[in-house]
Amino acid sequence: MQNSILDKFTKEALDAARASNTYRTMRLLESPEAAHIELHTAIEGAPRHQILLASNSYLDLANIGELKQAMAEAVLEWGTGSGGARLTTGNKIPHEALEAEIAKFKGEEAAITFNTGYMANVGTISALCGKNDFIFSDELNHASIIDGIRLSRAKCFVYKHNDMADLERAIADAKKAFLETAREQSAENFRGLIVTDAVFSMDGDLANLPELLQITKKHEVLLMIDEAHATGVLGRTGRGLAEHYGCAHADITLGTLSKAVAAEGGFVAGKQQLIDFLRNKARSFIFTTAMAPAVAASAHNNLKFIEAHPERVQQLQDNVKFFCERLRSEGLNVPTSPSAIIPIVIGDEAKAMHISEALQKEGLLIPAIRYPTVAKGAARLRASLMATHTRKDLEFAAKKIISAINNPVSSLRGT
Ligand SMILES: Cc1ncc(COP(=O)(O)O)c(C=O)c1O
C-alpha cells in the first residue's frame, strides 16, 4: 500500500526524465580528484585512466601532502564533527580563524561561513530580501541564487545575460511598478538587489563588475556577486573579480570553499554589519549544525596556501590561455574569458553526447552539458582546467577534441 503511494509520487517524474533523456546518473571515480584520475567507466572500450577536464578543483589542491596532513591533524585535535550549530556549541576556534582569513583574503571587514555555497546563497538572499523588495537576476545565474530568490518571496526581474541595458530597463520597470502599487510610498523606500554570478558556470564568461557598480550607484540598489568560480581563479593572486578588473568590491561578495579552495563550505564577505546581520537572520546559517572543525581548518590552510603561492594561480591562467589559443588556432570558436571554464559549443544534444563519449574512449573526461542545464540546441562540451594540467595533457586534449569535432562520424563509430 505504502509503496504504491510512493510510486505515484516518484514514477511519473522518473519516467518523464527517462523519456526526455534528462534522467540523471552519477559517474564513479576510483581515485581522488586530480588532473589524472581512475574512472569506473560505463562506456565500452574507454580506459580507466582519464585526463580530467571537468573539475572545479581548479588549483588542484586536494592532494597536496602538507594540506592533507594539516587536515588530518585538525581531525586529531578537533574530532570528526562539530556537535552543534554555530549559535549553540558548534562554533570552534577553526571556524572563527577561517572567517578571519576569508575576510583578509577578500579584503573585506568580515566574513561568515555556511556549510555550502548553496546554503550561502539561499540564506543570504532570503535574509536580505522580503516580499516588498525587488531582485534583479541575470538569466544565467546559478540554481542556488534562483532558489534563494524564490525563498525570499521578493519580486524578481530576470535580465538578459550580461545585458546592462536590459538590467537598467528592469530596474526602471520595477521602480514604476513599486510607485504604482504603493502610492503612499516615495521612491526612497524602494529596495533593490542586483545578483549575479561572477563567472557563469556553464559559459565561463564574467559579469561586468565595473558597469554593475556604476548601475548600483546610479539607481541606489545593492549588488551581490557569487564568486564560486572566481575565487582562486581570477586576478593576479586569485582574489576574484574585483582584483581582475582592478575595481571596487560589490556590497556582498559570496563564494564557495569547495572549488579552487578544495575543501567545503560557502562564505559571504563584506562589512561587519552585514556579517552581524547574516549571523542573526540567515536561516541556513542558524538552523544547521556547524561544519566539522577539521573542514574549517582545511579550508583555512588551503586558503593560506593560495595566498602563499600566487604562482599556482598564474599556472592556471597560463593553462587557460594556452588551451584556448590552441583551440582557436584550429578554428574553434572558444570565448576569450580568462576563467577556467571553457565551453565548446556543439549545438545538437546527441552529437555533443557522442563526442563526449568518443573522447572518453581516448582517455579524456569532458562532460557534455545539455538541455535543461543549457538552452535547447546549445549543447556543449564543458572543459574546465586545472593548474597542474601539463602542456602535454593540454596538447593531447586539444588534438583529440579537434579531431572528434571535425570527424564526428568516425568519433561516433562504435559508440
Ligand atoms: C555559481 C555557483 N554558486 C554556488 C554554487 C554552490 O556552491 P557549493 O558547491 O559550495 O554548494 C555553485 C556550484 O556548486 C556555483 O557554480
Give per-residue pLDDT as tens, 138-174.
999 999 999 999 999 999 999 999 999 999 999 999 9
Give 60 Cα–ligand 1 centroid separation in angstroms.
Answer: 17
* Helix (H) or strand (E) run with residue 36 in it: strand 36-40
- pLDDT of 68: 98
Residues with CB under 6 A from ligand 1: 116-118, 121, 142, 144, 197, 201, 226, 228-229, 256, 258, 266
383 CB neighbour count, 10 Å cutoff: 27
Give the bridge partners for 368, in sequence order: 381
- Closest atom of ligand 1 to 200 CA is 1
What's the mean pLDDT in 63-68?
A: 97
Give 116 Cα–ligand 1 centroid separation in angstroms.
Answer: 8
The mean predicted confidence, pLDDT, of the chain is 95
Cell of residue 108, nine digits: 573585506
Mutate to test the pocket of ligand 1, among 115, 125, 258 (most ligand atoms within 8 A of CB): 258
- pLDDT of 407: 83
- Closest atom of ligand 1 to 119 CA is 11
User: Could you tell me the residue ranges of all domains in the chain?
Assistant: 19-52+310-412, 65-308
- pLDDT of 209: 98
Burial 163-190 (b: 16+ CB within 10 A, else e): eeebbbebbeebbeebeeeeeeeeeeeb
What's the mean pLDDT in 311-322?
A: 98
- pLDDT of 180: 87
Cα angle: 51, vertex 57, 58; to 5 degrees: 85
pLDDT at 1 over 70: no
Rounded Cα distance between 159 and 156, Å, is 10
What's the mean pLDDT in 77-81?
A: 98
**CATH architecture, domain defined by 65-308:** 3-Layer(aba) Sandwich (3.40)
- Closest atom of ligand 1 to 257 CA is 10
Set 57, 126, 137, 201: catalytic member: 201
Does the active-site annotation cover 201?
Answer: yes
Set 106, 142, 229, 244: catalytic member: 229
Most confident residue range from 144-153, 171-180, 331-340, 363-372: 144-153
The residue contributing the CA closest to ligand 1 atom 15 is 228
Name the band, by pLDDT with cuts 50, 70 and 90, for residue 410.
low
Cell of residue 252, nine digits: 556582498
Rounded Cα distance between 52 and 39, Å, is 10
**Residues of the chain with pLDDT > 70: what percent?**
97
The residue contributing the CA closest to ligand 1 atom 7 is 117
Give 142 Cα–ligand 1 centroid separation in angstroms.
Answer: 7
- pLDDT of 2: 61
The residue contributing the CA closest to ligand 1 atom 16 is 201
Give 185 Cα–ligand 1 centroid separation in angstroms.
Answer: 37
What string of DSSP letters covers 350-402?
Answer: HHHHHHHHHHHHTTEE--EE-TTTS-TT-EEEEEE--TT--HHHHHHHHHHHH
- Closest atom of ligand 1 to 201 CA is 16
- pLDDT of 41: 85
Show Cβ contacts of residue 202 under 8 Å, excluding neighbours closer than 6 positions: 140, 341, 343, 369, 373, 374, 380, 382
Name the band, by pLDDT with cuts 50, 70 and 90, for residue 187.
confident
Give 82 Cα–ligand 1 centroid separation in angstroms.
Answer: 23
Give 97 Cα–ligand 1 centroid separation in angstroms.
Answer: 22
- Closest atom of ligand 1 to 199 CA is 1
**Residues of the chain with pLDDT > 90: what percent?**
89
Name the band, by pLDDT with cuts 50, 70 and 90, for residue 402.
very high
Rounded Cα distance between 322 and 342, Å, is 12
Rounded Cα distance between 56 and 61, Å, is 11
- Closest atom of ligand 1 to 264 CA is 10
- pLDDT of 116: 98
Name the band, by pLDDT with cuts 50, 70 and 90, for residue 239.
very high
The beta strands (E) that lie in 62-197 are given as 110-114, 134-138, 155-159, 192-197
Give 413 Cα–ligand 1 centroid separation in angstroms.
Answer: 36
Does the active-site annotation cover 229?
Answer: yes
What's the mean pLDDT in 32-44?
A: 94
What's the mean pLDDT in 380-402?
A: 97
Give 180 Cα–ligand 1 centroid separation in angstroms.
Answer: 37
Does the active-site annotation cover 392?
Answer: no
First-to-final CA distance of the chain: 42
Mutate to test the pocket of ligand 1, among 138, 256, 341 (most ligand atoms within 8 A of CB): 256
DSSP structural state of residue 348: S
What's the mean pLDDT in 271-282?
A: 98
- pLDDT of 413: 45
Domain 19-52+310-412 has CATH 3.90.1150.10: yes
pLDDT at 414 over 70: no
Set 92, 106, 142, 259: catalytic member: 259
pLDDT at 184 over 90: no
- pLDDT of 62: 97
Contact 288, 83 (CB under 8 A): no
What's the mean pLDDT in 386-406?
A: 97
Is-above-0.85 flag for pTM?
A: yes
